Each structure stands twice: as C-alpha cells, then as structure tokens.
Amino acid sequence: MRRFRTAALAALTLGAALSTGPAGAAPAHAGAAVPGGAAPASGLAHCAAGTCHFDVPPGTYDVHLLLGGDSASSTRITGETRRALLPETTVPAGGRVARSFTVDVRTPEGEPTGPAGTAGLDLVVGGSAPALAGVGVTPARHARQLFLVGDSTVCDQPGAPYAGWGQHLPQYLRRGLSVANHADSGESTVTYRQDPRLWAAVEPLVRRGDLVLIQLAHNDKTTDGATYRANLEALVDGVRAKGGAPVLVTPVVRRWFNADGTLDNDTALLVNGLGVDHPAVIRSVAADRRVPLIDLTARTRAVVEALGVEASKALYLSDEKRDNTHTSVHGATVYAGLVRDELLARHLVPRGLVRTR
C-alpha cells in the first residue's frame, strides 16, 4: 500500500453522514505546501457531513484517499461540479485500501460560461456504505492534462438529471492524469472559437504532452461544410502550436430510431440541414491532418442499436425530459467508458494511468 504524504491520518467512518473522528485523533497534514506559499491543505479536519473542502487556489492537485472501516464498505467520490472522480470501491470489514487521483481546480469550476462555483476543492463522499479513513491533498507536480473541448454532451452539467461524458471520464483515470473539462453547453465550432471565455482561454493552458479532445458538432446546425472543416483545422493547428496533441472525437449519436430499429438517419447521425455530415468531415480532417480519431459516433451507435428502442432510453433523458440528445448519469458513464477504451486502444495514454474496472 502506498504511503500517504501526510504526517498522520485520523480514522473516520461514514454512515448516513460524516461523523466526528475518534477522540484525540490527530488531523492529517500535507508534506508539501500548496502554490503561493499557502498552508498545506489536508486531513479529515476538512471533512463534515459527507463533504470535504480544501481552500486551495486554482491548479492541479493529487488527492490521496484511504478507504475502509470496521464494517464492509463501498465508497465513491464526486467533486466540484458533479464530477465523478472515483468509482464505487468496496473494502472488506477491517480492511483499508489506498486510492488516488488528480483533479483540476479552476474558476469557473464547471462550464466556462457558467457560474464561478465554490472556491477551492470540494469532494463529496458517497456510495452504498461509505467509509473514509484518511484524505490528503497535495499539488500535482508532474501531471498531464487531458483537455476537453466540446458541447453539452461533454460538459460538466450543473444539475441532475443531466450529465456529460466528460463529467464522468475522471473516474477512469489514476493519479498523474487529470481532466480539464472546458466543454460548454450550446457551443459550435464557430462560437467556441469566437467566445474569449472558451478557446482563447484554453489555448494558453496547453503544454507539451497534454491531450486535447475536440468534440463539436451538435450545435453546428447552420455551419456550412467548408467553415466547419476550417474551424476544426484551426483548433488542431492551435493545439499543435502549443506542443499539445489534438484528438478529434466524432459526436455521440442522438437517440432517433428508424422504423427498422436502426439509427441511419440525419437527425441521429448529426447531418445538418445543409447536408453537412459532421462525423464524415471529422474523419476526413483526422485522416488528412494525421490526427488521432475517436469515432464516438460509431461506438455510441453500436451501443444504442444493440440495446434497442426501449432499453436505450436509460442512456438518455428520454423518459425524464423527452430528450434524446443529452445523456443520463448512466449514459454519460457508459460513453465515458467508451472514450477510456479508445484512449487505451490508440495508445494515447499509458495503461498505468487508467482504471479499467
């Protein structure tokens, strides 16, 4: 088991709510200061009522957890704007399991054009039987960033039942690789490049070795083919100019079935009113510019068609909102898993930085 960078870890078990630690238990202290010379941020003293708050400035942080208690437990961690950071993790009675991940802390903490959110880092401890024995937060010194440029099907959705696949991707990654989700609702390739809060804010953050996943199509309803292609190429060129690695992602399908049970129609497969086949253009740009491609259109189509008309409703908000474009938490989790699989299959991230279960 990896040793925490904390001097001490107070034991704490969570039932319906976070309880007070054992009498006399000392709170943990980080072994390294946060940027700017602020005091270290760590320990169960920062946790109450199922949440932990760390007053740290924007940046990238490693979170170290010790899970388990006297009884069998099952714990998951979310944080910031409803991001899934650690999947449900079971620990037998009396056992302890160490887990860690890297998290992006920024303002605004969710969608770039949304509200600022809460300053610092917020973690929520959940699961069917949560038990947190220790927590530590330290600055991430050598983490790679995985930037997401996208729309509402990707973004950190602020309210249930909506969820974006980028919101659920972090739970599949280990310490050393963080998701910086700069996807924003309602954006097209045109608006993402025009709004100074979007591409102009992301581009300066990209460093050599960072990945930038680009999925924009759902809102390019009136974008002609030449403009759409030029916008994608400009984003690719911008990433490469900063030393980053662009990855083009075709859009998730809309759940619109033909009578024969297939999704072979313009609405489902993102062909706009001008006849622009967005996935086809993305594939073409990827081939011409030698950019890695994640064909999420093909992958999500296969999943939806395999499930069929009724079972596929659970992936979307078909029943809750009569919405066949935006995904539920379940759908976002499934689609994030597809992205995880493609990142591994295309050797875009080291296997050791990815959770496969």
Backbone angles phi, psi at 56, to 5 degrees: -115, 150
Looking at residue 3, what is its pLDDT? 35
Is 17 within the bounds of a domain?
no
Residue 329 has pLDDT above 70, yes or no: yes
Backbone angles phi, psi at 14, to 5 degrees: -105, 125
C-alpha distances in angstroms, 80 versus 107, 118, 214, 247? 10, 8, 22, 25
The per-type count for the chain, helices as H runs and strands as E runs, is 8, 15
- Cis bond before residue 130 (omega within 30° of 0): no
135 in the same domain as 150: no
Of 112, 139, 166, the residue at which a domain comes to its end is: 139
228 in the same domain as 83: no
User: Rounded mean pLDDT of 53-80?
Assistant: 97
127 in the same domain as 100: yes
Is 28 within the bounds of a domain?
no
As a whole number, the mean pLDDT across the chain is 89
158 in the same domain as 135: no
R_g (Cα) of the chain, nearest Å:
21
Concatenated DSSP letters for 242-255? TT-EEEEEPPPPP-
Residue 348 has pLDDT above 80, yes or no: yes
Q: Between 329-345 and 296-311, two packed helices, what is the crossing angle to 10 degrees? A: 150
Residue 23 tokens, joined: 């009498």
pLDDT in tens, 211-236: 999 999 999 999 999 999 999 999 99
283 in the same domain as 311: yes
Residue 12 has pLDDT above 60, yes or no: no
How many domains does one find in the chain? 2
195 in the same domain as 130: no
pLDDT in tens, 161-219: 999 999 999 999 999 999 999 999 999 999 999 999 999 999 999 999 999 999 999 99
Of 82, 106, 139, the residue at which a domain comes to its end is: 139
Could you tell me the pLDDT band of residue 40, with boundaries at 50, 70 and 90? Answer: very low
At 340, the amino acid letter reads: R
Of 139, 168, 195, the residue at which a domain comes to its end is: 139
**Residue 295: CATH number of its domain:** 3.40.50.1110
Cβ proximity of 216 and 246 under 8 Å = no
pLDDT in tens, 274-309: 999 999 999 999 999 999 999 999 999 999 999 999
